[in-house]
Amino acid sequence: MTKLKLAVAMIFACSILVGCASSHSVIDQSWIQKPAKVKVVFTEPHIDSPKDLQDDLPDYVNNFSDWYKSQLETNLGAQTKGVLYSVERISQDLIKTETVSENGSSFWVPTISEMNPEADVYLVINDIWIGRIVSETTCSMGGGFGMGGGFGVGGGVGMGTTCSQNKDFTAKGRYAYYDAKTGKRLGYGDIEAKSGYTFTVSLSDWENVVEKTVSTVLENTPIKK
């Protein structure tokens, strides 16, 4: 069976800030103490699929961050135990970006200038982008002979082509953890949460990408203990 690539451009619906880099995370190995109180701050998400938002979350077209906040709270509570969370949307003006070098590569990491010392740890989520990403189309072509098994009268070459295309409702972003009392960065990483769809996006896809976002930011941290 011969495989070929159709001349269809790959549609990367990535924001300029988020980019299309592969997901990665770095957690400070000295961070072993499970925090009792975590302050979670996030900036306004960018919705690249406004029609999907209108169809699936019509009550949150003008206040999507309220829905996003409630979903973060629900999933943080469901995926961890013994941690008190406070979740808040903050202005983009309160967030700055630092460049961190790691193994010869550079990564953008969100930072926050002021932190409430009543919390043990701050989780900062920034550059949130939510929308559809469609991969390039791949086709497989198979050949066969018609009736009679040859090229004579009543015969012919039968061709069957099967094409596939990955469609993912996706949430991207960047995050970082900080010690609220000392300001030390405890970890950072990228977010790339996907929910596959066939024809249309549904409410469950929105819920799935937030659930996977929370799973990503908690991975390899003592908060999961």
> Would the pLDDT of 207 be above 70?
yes
pLDDT at 75: 98
Within 8 A by CB and 6+ apart from 29, the residues are: none
In the DSSP assignment, the letter for residue 221 is: S
pLDDT at 182: 96
DSSP string for 137-176: PEEEEEEEE-TTSSSSTT--EEEEEEEE--EEEEEEEEEE
134-149 in b/e form (b: 16+ CB < 10 A) is eeeeeeeeeeeeeeee
pLDDT digits (tens, 9 = 90+) for 99-134: 998 888 889 999 998 999 999 999 999 999 999 999
DSSP string for 18-78: T-SPPP-EEE-TT--SPPSEEEEEEPPPEES-HHHHHHH-GGGSS-HHHHHHHHHHHHHHH
pLDDT at 159: 59
Within 8 A by CB and 6+ apart from 96, the residues are: 110, 111, 112, 113
State the residue for tokens 């996030």: 42
Q: Higher confidence at residue 185 or residue 166? A: 185
Please answer whether residues 164 and 150 qualify as being in contact, where contact means their C-beta atoms are separated by less than 8 angstroms: no
Q: How confident is the model at residue 71 (pLDDT cuts 50, 70, 90)?
A: very high
Q: How confident is the model at residue 23 (pLDDT cuts 50, 70, 90)?
A: low
- Classify 197 as helix, strand or coil: coil
Least confident residue range of 23-27, 70-74, 204-208: 23-27
Distances (CA, A) of 169 to 65, 66, 74, 128: 18, 20, 20, 13
For the chain, domains (ranges, CATH) are 32-142+162-224 (3.30.160)
Least confident residue range of 13-17, 61-65, 86-90, 147-151: 13-17
Within 8 A by CB and 6+ apart from 105, the residues are: none
- As separate numbers, helices (DSSP H) first and strands (DSSP E) second, the chain gives 3, 12
Helices 64-79 & 203-218 angle (0-180, nearest 10): 50
Q: By percentage, how much of the chain surpasses pLDDT 90?
A: 71
- CA dihedral sign of residues 66, 72, 75, 76: negative
